[in-house]
Amino acid sequence: MIPFEMVEPKSLKEALALLDPQESTVRAVAGGTALMLMMKAGVFTPTRLVCLHGIESEYARITVSAGELRIGAMATLSELERDANVAARLPVLKRAMRTLSNVRVRNVARVGGALAHGDPHLDLPPVLAALGARVSISGAGGDRELPLEQLYSGYYETVLAKDELITAVKIPAQAARKAAYMKVTARSADDWPALGVAVSFAFADGAIRDPIVVVSAATEKVTRMAAAEKVLHGAAPDDATLARAGDAAAAAAAILTDAHGSAAYKRELLRVYLRRAVREALGDGARPVRQ
Amino acid sequence: MMRTINFTLNGQPVSTAIEPHRNLVELLQRFDLFGARESCGQGLCGCCTVLVDDMAVSGCLYFAVWVDGKSVTTVEHLDAEGSLSVVQQAFIDCGAFQCGFCTPGFVLMTHQLLKAYPNPSDDDIRHYLSGNLCRCAAYPEIIEAVKLAARR
Amino acid sequence: MNQVGRDIPRLEVRAKVTGRADYTHNLRLPGMLYGKVFRATVPHGRIRCIETGAARAVPGVQCVVTGEDIRKLIAEPYYGPAFHDQPILALDKVRHVGEPVAVVLASDPHVAEHAAQLIDAEYQELPAVYDEVAAMQPDIVVHDMLKPAGTFADLKHLKGRTGTNIALDFHLRRGDVDAALARAERVIEHTFKTQQCLHLAFEPFVAVADPGDGVLTIHTSNQTPSFVRTEIARLFGWPENRVRVKVPYLGGGFGAKVYVKLEALVSALALLVRRPVKIALTMEEQFYMITKHPTTFRIKSGVGKDGRVVARACEVYWNGGAYADIGPRVTQKSGFTAPGPYDIENINIDSYALYTNRTPAGALRGFGIPQLVWAYESHTDLIARELGIDPIDFRRKNILHQNRPQASGTPMTDAAIAKVLDAIAARLAWNKKLDRGSGTVRRGRGVAIGFKASISPTTSVAIVNVAADGSTTLYTSTVDMGQGSDTAFAQIAAEVLDFKAEDIRIVHPDTDVTPYDMGTLGSRSLFHMGNAVRLAAEDARAKLQALAAQAGLPEGTNYPPAEVFKKRFGMQAGNVIGAASFVPTYKSPDAQTGLSDNVTPFWMVGGAGAEVEVDTETGDVRVLRLVNAVDCGKPINPGVARTQLSGAAIMQLGFTLSEAMQLDAGQVTNASLADYKIPGIRDVPPMENELVEAEQHTGPFGAKGLGESGTFGVSPAIANAIHDAVGVRIMELPITAEVVFRALRAQQGRPLEDA
């Protein structure tokens, strides 16, 4: 690493002003765990890092209002993991935290950074996307809000401008919706996933309603599987339906070959794990593999 | 670029000037503390575990300037009173290491683990310590050591 | 007091749990410069030019050194234990991606790293060869000429050979294989392969050279300090006493840190700049230093009606990468065990060490044995299945028993092969039916056994120093890298001298102080150095007795040493030095037949049994139970021995299920712990580890080493268990979920098709 400037603004506004809409060597740093990896690998060489630790503490709060859970972007992953509201309202998120990276990274990494990084192998984006989360973004040009999955435009790419920051993620009330996240590792247990499948849906009168199906890791970005959602909506979660949903997802997903496995193999995993995710959400013992 | 930082290191207030591109492991080496070691360089192996404000971090992924105003504890502080910690003694009694390079990280993480889970199950132990790797693979003995320390 | 057989904690436990243990990693010397290596980006090419100007211009850079600069200091800057084929920095040609081409020196490692990124080299690219079987053809030749080191008599005939990648071919002929195969009831043939993987010690390679004034001191994380001293002295044309090599604890070795690794480079740099120089590799850079041989093993067996193997032909191809390192030794010393621990009348072995354009390969916890066992125990299982014989019964029928000649002709003395097999069968309750699962979850079980010869001929020297107060210090050049050798030697010396092991101090390798040892490798230390320590302690005991006699103390009484010294010298003064060398006898294999009746001083035996569960929908394999058993003679410290066994088995589990270096046109594409997956705490299956009751009659107090033995059986035991569970056979490591899934789909007649 070569020397650079680290500035520590005291407010979000100040932080935004210190970013540069044109200059990619100026970046914000929250927990820094992913950024430092990029710097060590030589793929990112900053001239200035805008450290966000000193901005207003409200951006680190996790609050509930009108049933909506608002997670400040500067909350650490550990704070999310330990939050009582998260545990009570979003057990799927609480469970996912257990195998998300490791304790030390969770202690330091921030929610905003985990979302803005754009690495499709991360666990938080698919889980939040399945929960219908929206991200709040602030920039020099004003504020905006997006469904989480629309944040991603490609492999490690987001729609964030260089002078925009994520300030919060909002998760709507889940009521009785059921949810599950399957992190499928293909090598060792602590590996990055070869495939992530997150689902949530309402379940009434024996039928699935308004499902959200999200695929990650195997694709270049976190992706909603509309075709599979269509198959599931209004259907009973029997083997035939789940197989058709799996086929629909496998046909639609743009799956990549990488060190975790071939595209053909991961497509097969998607068929299997979509079914297992739905079953897991329904609470009937899918076999968790290396969870 | 040089910046003066003040922090508490193993109970003592200290001050030093350091540039933003150096990490916490490098900072500790300036104080002749080598128990935190950069090995994988990616926060995966846990050899560089350090406690900052009593919270475990990967020293290799943590900017040194960030400890300004904070309290830093390294493995060298655990026997400051003269005797080994319960965890350290349990690691010895269970033979929970071979080459010893990853051991300080496992010991510090076990201290944290036992605070979060005073009576941990095997599953708690495996999940909490999944961010620490041991190439000598003393894992079964480490699990025993954690349980022994919890019992004591 | 019984010191041997006691479960004492390692001597250095306190230093290790407090983070204060001494590793080369920690060392900083006044005025020290850090070196950062600039590495080749092409697998095979002639160097056209190396552009270092931009790097030199970086503020804080002391200098940039290339191979030509080294050549000004050393006319022939090539090193290696078997062949002098490896340049200190690339000269004329590069032969693998990651080969060191230049070094930047700076007092700030960040500056050196940044400047190294600014170096540029141009190459005339040459076609490259990566596969060991392809390398048998001389179409692409990695080295223009073979340059054997001269230390090994059996390599001399290779000197000056051109137009080949075969660094060594070893052949063994016993009986008449062709005739026996022709007569055999059945002939069964398979080809197995293993992948390139690596040690990844958590203290990555690190060395510091201090040029000194007439004496060069090298501090290094290395398993072979005596060899390093000899080789560095040879490179500079100096007497050995001008080179001093010091080795503290090692943060893991596993066979990576043997012979010269960074030592020649830091030494040359330190002499060039006349300042201490440290090079510490990153985890990523370890992927370009030394690896484990990928192999292809063709094995053919003839079996009689009675289920006895009557003939076996083995062709083994060892992918040694760009530099021979110790590969030729692996090819021969492990090669002759290729038929497995079975009593077979007719045997052919053809074993080839090959150069390719990969990272060099050397020794990794087993010196080639795990690759061989993978093949012969998978093959054995397949034969048993084909014959419809229970795999344990089949092995029992063919096993080598006490004093029967092994393929080489050397008798299997003190090799508890049958006992190891029995222990595994008993723990798996082999005679009871296994719950085989149902639906998409199927279970199976498998076993495998293997054996290894110790490296020979080798020398170990030990010194025991009893001070006038009776306190005792032990000097050896054995490196304690976690295996517990310090503790075991203290126990051995204490047993002889009737002291307490914990009271003995160990001096770590320092070639100015500690005597010669061939190296801490191949599980040889406990036997070789252990015997030397025992003899040295006996020498000290005899001298103490002589001293007592001189002091006029009556014979046969056991006086504390302090009293003897005081009586003899009138005060607390003097000391007693016991010293001994241990060099077992050896007969090199016959040049024609490859046979020898004394090829090893002892045999190591290890085996494993596994129960697995296969998810047939995903190919995911879960090991439900792993049973490991070894013959380590009578353990000196059973507790430490068991952890060694367990650690070796888990390491091999990684080589079995997940670890593989991935190459794309010679580039390693997964050079990090994020992408090369070693076992973590959640990957460890329930395990049982057994040291079978045995004795090595020539070992110190009946003991022998076991650092490697726990690796032998793991891979084939798992493959055999998978076959048992779902009926598919995996022929190549690693056995990832995808590999199993593809095999399952092929078995169903609908192979997985890649788009």
Q: What is the pLDDT of residues A46-88, one digit of tens each?
A: 999 999 999 999 999 999 999 999 999 999 999 999 999 999 9
Domain membership flag for residue C419: yes
Instruction: Enumerate the β-bridge partners of residue C610.
Output: C446, C626
Name residues whose C-beta falls within 8 Å of residue C521's C-beta, 6 or more positions apart in sequence.
C223, C224, C255, C258, C363, C367, C455
- Is C106 part of a structural domain of the chain? yes
Res. A287 pLDDT band, cuts 50 70 90: very low
Pick from B93, B129, B135: CB nearest C202 = B135
Q: Indicate whether B7 and B67 sit together in one domain.
A: yes
Q: Which domain holds residue C740?
A: 291-455+590-747
User: How far is residue C315's CA from residue C335's CA, in Å, rounded to a whole number?
Assistant: 9
Is residue C456 within 8 A of residue C617, CB to CB? The reply is no
A188, A257, A268 ranked by CB distance to C680: nearest? A188
Q: Is residue C101 part of a domain?
A: yes
Active site residue C284: no
Closest residue by Cα to residue C620 from A198, A99, A188:
A188
Q: Is the pLDDT of residue B152 over 70?
A: yes
- Residue C332 gets which letter from DSSP? I
Do C424 and C418 contact (CB within 8 A), yes or no? no
Per-window interface: B 54-113 vs C, CB < 8 A: 74-76, 78-79, 84, 88, 91-93, 95, 97-104, 107
H helices, E strands: number in chain A: 11, 14
How many folded domains does chain C comprise? 3
User: φ and ψ at A290, to 5 degrees?
Assistant: 50, 40
Q: For A37-120, where are the E strands, in sequence order?
A: 48-51, 62-65, 68-72
Note whether C658 contacts A289, CB cutoff 8 Å: no
One domain, residues C58 and C46: yes
| Residue pair A29/A35 in contact by the 8 Å Cβ criterion | yes
Query: How many domains would you assign to chain B?
Result: 2
B104 and B40, same structural domain?
A: no
Do B49 and B9 belong together in one domain? yes
Same domain flag for B7 and B57: yes
Angle at Cα C91 formed by Cα C285 and Cα C41, nearest 5°? 40
Phi, psi angles (nearest 5°) of residue C183? -85, -15
Nearest Cα residue in chain B from A82: B116
Mutate to test the interface with A, among C41, C657, C677 (most CBs of A within 10 A): C677
Q: Which domain holds residue B134?
A: 86-151
DSSP at A261 = B
Asked whether residue C499 is assigned to any structural domain, the reply reads yes
Q: Tell whether B71 and B92 lie within a shared domain.
A: no
In a domain, C265, yes or no: no
Establish if C177 belongs to a structural domain.
no
Which CATH number among 3.40.50.1000, 3.40.50.920, 3.30.390.50, 3.40.50.720 corresponds to the domain A178-282? 3.30.390.50
User: Has residue C41 been placed in a domain?
Assistant: yes
Written as one letter, the residue type at A282 is: L
Whether residue C475 is found in the same domain as residue C620: no
d(CA C736, CA C729): 13
Instruction: State whether A4 and B62 contact (CB < 8 Å).
Output: no
Residue C524 shares a structural domain with residue C602: no
C contact residues 221-250, partner B, Cβ 8 Å cutoff: 249-250
Quick count: other Cβ atoms within 10 Å of Cβ A62?
18
H/E segment holding residue C104: strand C100-106
Tell me: pLDDT of A289 over 50.
Answer: no
Length of chain C: 755
Split at pLDDT 50, 70, 90, the class of A2 is: confident
Q: Where are the domains of chain A?
A: 5-51, 60-171, 178-282
What is the DSSP annotation of A105-155? Answer: HHHH-BHHHHHHS--TT-SHHHHHHHTT-EEEEEETTEEEEEEGGGGEEET
Portion 175-194 of A in contact with B at CB < 8 A: 189-190
Q: Between the CA atoms of C475, C480, C483 and C489, what dihedral angle is there, to the nearest 10 degrees? A: 10
Are B141 and C646 within 8 A, CB to CB? yes
Q: Hey, what CATH class is A5-51 in?
A: alpha beta
Q: Which of B53, B75, B97 is the last residue of a domain?
A: B75
Given B49, B75, B101, which residue is the final one in a domain?
B75
Query: What integer pLDDT is reported at residue B137 of this predicted model?
Result: 98
Q: Which amino acid is at C534?
A: R
pLDDT-based confidence at residue A291 (cuts at 50, 70, 90): very low
User: What residues of chain A, 28 to 87, have a C-beta less than 8 Å from chain B?
Assistant: 32-33, 36-37, 40, 49, 51, 53, 78
Contact B131/A105, CB-based, under 8 Å? yes
Q: Which residue of B has its CA nearest to A51?
A: B66
Using DSSP bridges, classify how beta strands A207-216 and A195-204 pair: parallel, antiparallel or unpaired.
antiparallel
| Beta strand segments in C372-517, E | 437-438, 441-453, 460-467, 472-475, 505-507
Question: Within a 13 Å sphere around the CA of B5, how many CA atoms are in the beta-carbon half?
Answer: 23
Q: Which of B47, B75, B103 delimits the end of a domain?
A: B75
C350 contacts C168 by C-beta, under 8 angstroms: no
CATH code, domain with C443: 3.30.365.10
CB-CB neighbors (< 8 A) of B41 in chain A: 40
Q: Is residue B64 included in any domain, yes or no?
A: yes
Instruction: Mutate one of B42, B72, B103, B135 to test the C interface: name it (highest C CB count within 10 A).
Output: B135
Whether C347 and C462 share a structural domain: no
| CATH number of the structural domain spanning residue B109 | 1.10.150.120
Is residue B21 assigned to a domain? yes
B37 is a domain residue: yes
Averages of pLDDT over runs of 10 residues in chain C (755 residues) are 91 97 98 98 98 98 98 97 97 98 98 97 98 97 93 78 95 97 98 98 98 96 98 98 98 97 98 98 98 98 96 98 94 92 98 98 96 98 97 97 96 97 98 96 98 94 97 98 97 96 97 98 97 98 94 84 94 97 95 94 98 98 98 97 98 98 96 97 98 98 97 98 98 98 98 90
Decide if C203 touches B, using CB distance below 8 A. yes
Cβ distance C634 to C698 under 8 Å?
Answer: no
Instruction: State whether B20 and B53 are in the same domain.
Output: yes
- For residue B81, being part of any structural domain is answered with no
Paired tokens of C366: 């087993």
Does CATH number 3.30.465.10 belong to domain A60-171? Answer: yes
**Which candidate, C143, C147, C175, places its Cα nearest to that of C159?**
C147
| pLDDT score for C663 | 96
pLDDT confidence of residue A284 = 66
Indicate if A178-282 has the same CATH topology as A5-51.
no
pLDDT for C333: 85
- Is residue C486 a part of any domain in this protein? yes
C495/C639 same-domain check: no
| H/E element, C191 | strand C186-194
Residue C349: phi and psi, rounded to 5, are -130, 130
* Residue B134 lies inside a defined structural domain of this protein: yes
Which chains neighbour B (Cβ–Cβ under 8 Å, 3 or more pairs)?
Answer: A, C
Distance of alpha carbon C47 from alpha carbon C128, whole angstroms: 15
Shared domain check, C671 and C531: no
Complex-level ipTM: 0.98
Q: Which chain B residues touch A98 with a CB distance below 8 Å?
A: 127
In this structure, the answer to whether residues B17 and B53 fall within a common structural domain is yes
For B6-47, what is each residue's pLDDT tens digit? 999 999 999 999 999 999 999 999 999 999 999 999 999 999
Selected catalytic residue, list C285, C611, C613, C708: C708
- Yes or no, beta carbons of C677 and A289 under 8 Å apart: no
% of chain A with per-residue pLDDT over 90: 95
Same domain assignment for residues C467 and C428: no
Q: Same structural domain for residues B91 and B67?
A: no
Cβ C266 vs Cβ C72: under 8 Å: no
Judgement on whether residues B8 and B68 belong to the same structural domain of the protein: yes
Which residue, C99, C126, C153, sits at the end of a domain?
Answer: C126
Residue B45 lies in a domain: yes
Considering chain A, what percentage of its residues have pLDDT values greater than 70?
97
**C644 — contact with chain B (CB < 8 Å)?**
yes
B129 to C681: CB separation less than 8 angstroms, yes or no: yes
Do residues C436 and C462 both lie within one domain?
no
State the pLDDT at residue C82: 94
The pLDDT tens digits for C225-246 are 999 999 999 999 999 999 999 9
Q: What does the alpha-carbon distance between residue A138 and residue A158 come to, in Å, rounded to a whole number?
A: 14
* Bridging pattern class, strands A134-139 and A68-72: unpaired
Count of helix runs (H) and strand runs (E) in chain C? 17, 30
Task: Flag if A272 and C683 touch (Cβ within 8 Å).
Answer: no
Beta bridge partners of B13: B8
Angle among Cα C329, C333, C339 to the nearest 5 degrees reads: 135
Which candidate in C681, C706, C711 is best for mutational testing of the B interface (most B CBs within 10 A)? C681
One domain, residues B70 and B133: no
Rounded CA-CA distance A89/A146 in Å is 22
Q: Which amino acid is at C736?
A: T
Could you give the percent of chain B with pLDDT greater than 90?
Answer: 99
Give the model's pLDDT for residue C1: 59
* Closest chain C C-alpha to B43 CA, distance in angstroms: 9
pLDDT digit string (tens) for B135-144? 999 999 999 9
